[in-house]
């Protein structure tokens, strides 16, 4: 284990977070809020500490997959701990567990909250909550790769550990350039959506914060009513942009590169859009009797389907009022998630396609034992290594879900609350159903359950394995054993 390079990367991440904290500090200063002082102070301390840690570049820069996974997991825990300190300092969320939960939820783009009155927070804190979605959406270490020169192997190991989806590829030969392209597309789309919201009549502060939430497929709102107070135009616009940010960003690069045919031939994207259309139609037909007009029925169904499948978590009304079948459809969408290579969470549509094709091939093999069929996705053969990785991920997801559910159930809430609370945190969605639905929150859970949810949110955002590797005793036993051997030899 190369601890020197891990600390170097952690220091650089801390410097970036410290600088980013000055933005909500300036927002708070603009509104003449005393709470901005906490962001200035913590930001300055974080930057100076990060500078001290990463001042000298390590000589040994060998960086394998294990270091990449540990580095990414530690980075996300660190930015969540540091990011919650202004909330405690300025008194907006004085309890550490609650503040940490809120910040983990922000950076992992989950959107689950312990707050009972969002409107009571300062503008600086509201901005930082939503801004954390934007930072975590594309990944703070992906940004790091665009500004910090690292060897190809080290950069790829970090990219694989942080990027959502079953596989990571380069858009261009150099990974650093790929990271820059991702952030340029991400930033341009964010600016575009904010302009559209302002044109639709949304206040500028709301447009920016909602824009951050949509871009990162988070879900923190600056109003207790969620999206309900915004115009019909804005609600449709938010629904459309949520879908767009749930698309694999490689598609947008192909469009920019004028590879139109290749961009529109994505099997995953068409499946993703098909699921959205089918779910929206099913829920609209099932809830037609609840609303005054067909348009209103369709709008709520469209917004909620777009929000849940992309794991954004914004709501326009209390979908706890939906019939049971509509709520079950939304829970299924929580697990499906968006496309690989997007800012969305969940299992990812590409994994679902591969798993379904695996079942089909197995049935074909039973009926025709001599038949040899290869699974293909996007016209390419899915290699055995990818299949193994997807199956392992699915088992890990199911195991973590079951263990988390057992622990959370000790709080003695009803089954619907517990089942959806674990599902919504592990898939980075935000709201669940029952007590954690659109009008509820996670404040009633014990501290133990909140830390379980924090682990689930981090594991879900980082595709399970970085967090599992970090907390594996074998990882540290081997690392310290080798360190001791080197010291003995010296």
pLDDT in tens, the chain (490 residues): 777 888 888 999 999 999 999 999 999 999 999 999 999 999 999 999 999 998 887 776 667 777 888 888 999 999 999 999 999 999 999 999 999 999 999 999 999 999 999 989 999 999 999 999 999 988 777 766 655 555 545 555 666 666 655 554 455 545 667 778 888 999 999 999 999 999 999 999 999 999 999 999 999 999 999 999 999 999 999 999 999 999 999 899 999 988 998 888 889 999 999 999 999 999 999 999 999 899 999 999 999 999 999 999 999 999 999 999 999 999 999 999 999 889 898 999 999 999 999 999 889 888 888 777 888 888 888 888 888 888 899 999 999 999 999 999 999 999 999 999 999 999 999 999 999 999 999 999 999 999 999 999 999 998 888 898 888 887 777 666 666 666 566 5
Instruction: Name the token pair of 461.
Output: 């955002």
pLDDT of residue 486: 60
**DSSP bridge partners of 380:** 377
Cβ pair 128, 18 in contact under 8 A? no
Instruction: Name the token pair of 156.
Output: 């790829």
**SS3 call for 479:** helix
Give the whole-angstrom CA distance, residue 407 versus residue 428.
Answer: 19
**SS3 call for 49:** helix
Give the whole-angstrom CA distance, residue 453 versus residue 102.
Answer: 11
pLDDT of residue 14: 95
**SS3 call for 376:** strand
Tally the C-alpha atoms within 13 A of residue 95's C-alpha that lie toward its C-beta: 10
Instruction: Name the token pair of 384.
Output: 């055995």
Closest CA to 141 of 162, 160, 157, 156: 162
DSSP letter for 437, please. S
pLDDT of residue 150: 57
Q: How far apart are the first and last CA of the chain?
A: 17
Q: Which stretch of DSSP H or E encloses residue 377?
A: strand 376-377
Q: How far is CA 112 from CA 107, 201, 375, 454, in A?
A: 11, 27, 37, 10
Give the whole-angstrom CA distance, residue 314 versus residue 455.
Answer: 22
User: 């801390």: which residue's tokens?
Assistant: 14
């Amino acid at each position: 284990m190369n601890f020197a390079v891990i600390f170097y990367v952690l220091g650089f991440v801390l410097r970036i977070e410290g600088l980013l904290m000055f933005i909500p500090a300036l927002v708070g200063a603009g509104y003449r809020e005393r709470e901005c002082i906490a962001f200035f102070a913590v930001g300055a301390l974080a930057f100076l500490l990060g500078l001290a840690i990463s001042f000298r570049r390590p000589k040994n820069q060998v960086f394998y997959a294990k270091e990449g996974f540990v580095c990414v997991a530690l980075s996300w825990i660190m930015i969540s701990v540091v990011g919650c300190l202004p909330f405690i300092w300025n008194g907006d969320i004085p309890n550490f567990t609650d503040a940490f939960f809120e910040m983990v939820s922000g950076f992992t783009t989950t959107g689950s909250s312990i707050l009972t009155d969002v409107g009571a927070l300062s503008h600086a804190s509201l901005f930082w909550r939503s801004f954390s979605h934007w930072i975590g959406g594309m990944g703070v270490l992906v940004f790091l790769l665009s500004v910090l020169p690292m060897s190809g192997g080290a950069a790829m190991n970090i990219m694989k550990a942080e990027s959502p989806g079953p596989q990571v590829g380069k858009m261009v030969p150099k990974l650093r350039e790929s990271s820059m392209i991702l952030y340029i597309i991400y930033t341009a789309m964010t600016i575009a959506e904010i302009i559209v919201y302002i044109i639709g009549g949304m206040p500028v502060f709301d447009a920016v914060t909602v824009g951050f939430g949509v871009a990162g497929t988070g879900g923190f709102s600056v109003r207790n009513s969620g999206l309900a107070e915004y115009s019909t135009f804005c609600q449709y616009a938010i629904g459309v942009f949520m879908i767009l940010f749930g698309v694999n960003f490689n598609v947008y690069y192909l469009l920019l590169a004028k590879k139109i045919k290749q961009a529109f031939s994505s099997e995953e994207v068409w499946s993703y859009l098909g699921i959205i259309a089918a779910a929206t139609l099913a829920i609209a037909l099932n809830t037609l009797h609840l609303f005054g007009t067909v348009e209103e029925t369709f709008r709520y169904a469209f917004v909620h389907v777009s929000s849940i499948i992309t794991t954004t978590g914004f709501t326009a009304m209390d979908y706890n009022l939906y019939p049971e079948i509509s709520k079950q459809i939304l829970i299924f969408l929580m697990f499906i998630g968006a496309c690989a290579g997007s800012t969305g969470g969940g299992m990812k549509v590409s994994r679902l396609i591969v798993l379904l094709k695996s079942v089909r091939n197995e049935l074909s093999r039973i009926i025709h034992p001599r038949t040899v069929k290869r699974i293909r996705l996007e016209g390419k053969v899915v290699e055995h290594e990818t299949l193994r990785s997807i199956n392992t991920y699915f088992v890990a997801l199911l195991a973590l879900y079951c263990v988390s559910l057992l622990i959370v159930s000790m709080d003695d809430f009803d089954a619907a609350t517990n089942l959806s609370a674990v599902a919504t945190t592990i898939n980075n969605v935000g709201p669940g159903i029952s007590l954690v639905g659109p009008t509820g929150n996670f404040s009633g859970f014990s501290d133990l359950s909140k830390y379980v949810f924090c682990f689930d949110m981090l594991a879900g955002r980082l595709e399970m394995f970085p967090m599992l590797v970090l907390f594996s005793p074998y990882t540290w036993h081997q690392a310290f054993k080798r360190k001791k051997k080197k010291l003995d030899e010296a």
